[in-house]
Structure 1
Amino acid sequence: MTRTPPPAETARRSAAPSPGAGPTAWVGLQFALTGLVWGSSFLFMKVALEGISPGQVVWSRLVLGALTLGIFVALRRDRLPRVPRVWLHMAVLAVSFCVAPFLLFSWAQQHVTSGLASIYNATTPIMTAIMASLLFRVERPTRAQIAGIIVGILGVMVLVAPWRGLSPDESLLAQAAILGATACYGFSLAYMRRFVAHSGMSAPMFSFLNIGIAALVMLVLTPLVAAGPVALDPWIGASILLLGCLGTGVAYIWNQNAVRAWGPTRASTVTYLTPVVGVALGIAVLAEPLSWNEPAGALVVFLGILLAQNRLRFGRGARSAP
């Protein structure tokens, strides 16, 4: 949401930084936890879709996420913003960052595997860089960040293994829908920096308004998107709770802290972790076979993250990361 200066400078410039947006090590831990939780979310969605519809999945995760974030805000006694313009921007983000991409992902996962969905989600940094630099003109990626994005995409390609061809039951329309969802994420991350960077909201309040307004939208749309039969069992129920309270609740606070400390493009590289987690869960939970390209792709993806976050430097200009 700001330039990409060292975290200390970002914290000084933030209007109301969250306590979690401080030391680099703590932000890095939240970054990793977000990748783990969001990588698991694709499995949660896949399991939940066995008992409820795509619209009901989105309805449940947003309502549960809003309730969870509301508890954090109440405990912190954060105040709601009083500027009408901030509410308007948050309404835009509620649709572009939550309602639209969540519906696209939930619908698409009826036709593609959770692992493939998590892999396509790794295109978010590319979408963010495009939106931030070309549409909103709020960020100019460094050479290291550009190299990291390219390397990360190469890692994703190794995971996808296009030389083996795609399974015939994986809908191309569903894959296009997922790319549309990541485009929504890229738009939203750049929009956050352009219009709400100095709104004065803490990370919990920002996340609460984002998810809360989106939940209100889904409540209004209940007859259209969430009506229908429901078949629950312990696994489906647990998946819905984890997807809502953790994946759409706590993880959004962690992500906001990373965005504030590192900027939208670098923070969006969290999606490079999601295919690694998604593939691992596919092996452990769904008993999918392990091919050589999966661990190889994971290593390339991690290299992309290090480059995109300026953790690796080469040549005479090599120096430690900030």
Structure 2
Amino acid sequence: MVFVNYFVMCLIFGTTFLAIKVGIDAGAPPFFSAGVRFFLAGLVLFAVMAWKKQASLSILLRKEMAITGICLTYGVFATLYWAEQYLSSGIAAVLSATAPLMVMLLQTGLSRQKLSASSWAGCLIGFVGVVLLLLPGLTFSISMLWVAGCVAVLFGQLFYAAGAVYSRHVSQQFKEVSPITLNAAQMMYGGILLLLTSAFTEQVHMEFLLSSQSVFALLYLTFVGSMMGHTIFYWLVAKTNPLFPSTWLYISPLIALALGVALYQEPLYWSSLAGGIAIIVGIVMINLKTLRELVAKKTPLQHAESPTK
């Protein structure tokens, strides 16, 4: 059951990038649709947890929820949704996979620990991968908006890194609160901020809801991407350990690349494919020590740990 859910989670997270692209291309305002997605998903999940008596309104009044929402939802997805106006879903997914690199660099800077040789090699390979990904926009179409989109996704991963590091502190502070409740609360805060951003920057014409593609994308992202995907993620954390489910970051970007090319006729240059593979290899090398520890345990099924972005 664990591996079935893991496969489903990777598939869900791999398809969300294409769903975002489909919705935006169908006329959905980026910030507005992102805000509706996360606020609605957070609200429904929070209501379910409250019905199970595993959530109370007092948690919504804590500043930690707002800070986590700014980092893990608002900063990450405001940039991602904006960028997918100009990027293919596959490229956006691969660039989003640099999150572990950002987390490692931030943790290293805060703790002032020295990086291993494999980590430095992974950073270098990952950087080369990002350069290769940027090449098509610089050499083929010379599109500055394309490059700006790539930079925006990378900038969003800085928010994710800060949120991931901070959320570990939050999870320790609120040990008695379900991780699903904490995630629901931060999604609500992030959704509200996205809607406020939309109010000041976008002209929302509700005609986009007349498009079946935009409506399907919004419903899919809300109920399958945000609610089902994240629920499976936290279930896997509880049943295995924090590392195992996080390895979706090595698999889902390649799924997103393949789906974008096969189902949405997105262009894929050889340099972009090489860059994507280089980024994944770099991330694996950065996390080589942790992955070896996971392999040494033979299987996460035998070592269930308590949940800890």
Q: Structure 2 vs 1, CA of residues 36 and 294 (structure 1 numbering), >3 Å: closer, same or farther?
A: farther
Q: Which letter does structure 1 place at the counterpart of 2:34?
A: V
- Deviation (angstroms), 1:249: 2.0
Are residue 153 (structure 1) and residue 126 (structure 2) matched?
yes
Q: Structure 2 vs 1, CA of residues 80 and 299 (structure 1 numbering), >3 Å: closer, same or farther?
A: same
Q: Residues 273 and 301 of structure 1 are in contact (CA less than 8 Å); yes or no, is this contact kept in structure 2?
A: no
What is aligned with 2:54?
78
What is aligned with 2:37?
61
Normalised by the size of structure 1, how large is the TM-score?
0.72
What is aligned with 1:183?
158
The 5-angstrom pairing of residues 3-14 of structure 1 reads none
Q: Structure 2 vs 1, CA of residues 117 and 73 (structure 1 numbering), >3 Å: closer, same or farther?
A: same
What is aligned with 1:121?
96
Unaligned runs of 5+ in 2: 300-309
What is aligned with 2:250?
272
Q: Residues 122 and 281 of structure 2 are in contact (CA less than 8 Å); yes or no, is this contact kept in structure 1?
A: no
Q: Residues 27 and 214 of structure 2 are in contact (CA less than 8 Å); yes or no, is this contact kept in structure 1?
A: yes
Q: Structure 2 vs 1, CA of residues 141 and 319 (structure 1 numbering), >3 Å: closer, same or farther?
A: farther
CA distance in 1, matches of 2:65, 2:178: 14
Q: Which letter does structure 1 place at the counterpart of 2:257?
A: V
- Deviation (angstroms), 1:176: 1.1
- Deviation (angstroms), 1:169: 3.3
Are residue 282 (structure 1) and residue 255 (structure 2) matched?
no
Q: Residues 148 and 303 of structure 1 are in contact (CA less than 8 Å); yes or no, is this contact kept in structure 2?
A: no
Are residue 168 (structure 1) and residue 146 (structure 2) matched?
no
Q: Residues 87 and 149 of structure 2 are in contact (CA less than 8 Å); yes or no, is this contact kept in structure 1?
A: yes
What is aligned with 1:204?
180
CA distance in 2, matches of 1:155, 1:258: 32
Count of residues in correspondence between the two structures: 290
Q: Structure 2 vs 1, CA of residues 226 and 201 (structure 1 numbering), >3 Å: closer, same or farther?
A: farther
CA distance in 2, matches of 1:272, 1:143: 20
CA distance in 2, matches of 1:149, 1:173: 24
Kindly provide the CA deviation profile for residues 141-184 of structure 1, in whole angstroms up to 9, marking residues without a partner as x: 99698489559838956984959956433632221111111111
Please point out which of 53, 66, 70 is paired with 1:91: 66
Please point out which of 215, 226, 230 is paired with 1:252: 230
Q: Which letter does structure 1 place at the counterpart of 2:298?
A: A
The percentage of aligned residue pairs carrying the same residue is: 21
CA distance in 2, matches of 1:134, 1:31: 32
- Deviation (angstroms), 1:81: 7.2
What is aligned with 1:44?
19
CA distance in 2, matches of 1:82, 1:54: 31
Q: CA RMSD in A?
A: 4.0
- Deviation (angstroms), 1:238: 0.5
Q: Structure 2 vs 1, CA of residues 267 and 124 (structure 1 numbering), >3 Å: closer, same or farther?
A: farther
- Deviation (angstroms), 1:65: 1.5
CA distance in 1, matches of 2:125, 2:247: 9
- Deviation (angstroms), 1:95: 1.0
Q: Structure 2 vs 1, CA of residues 124 and 189 (structure 1 numbering), >3 Å: closer, same or farther?
A: same
- Deviation (angstroms), 1:91: 0.7
Q: Residues 47 and 235 of structure 1 are in contact (CA less than 8 Å); yes or no, is this contact kept in structure 2?
A: yes
Of the structure 1 ranges 164-173 and 121-130, higher mean CA displacement relative to structure 2 is found in 164-173
Are residue 215 (structure 1) and residue 188 (structure 2) matched?
no
CA distance in 2, matches of 1:40, 1:148: 30
Normalised by the size of structure 2, how large is the TM-score?
0.74
Unaligned runs of 5+ in 1: 1-24
**Higher normalized helix content (fraction of residues):** 2
CA distance in 2, matches of 1:309, 1:106: 31
Q: Residues 97 and 280 of structure 2 are in contact (CA less than 8 Å); yes or no, is this contact kept in structure 1?
A: no
Q: Structure 2 vs 1, CA of residues 211 and 142 (structure 1 numbering), >3 Å: closer, same or farther?
A: same
CA distance in 2, matches of 1:179, 1:59: 20
CA distance in 2, matches of 1:304, 1:242: 31
- Deviation (angstroms), 1:96: 1.1
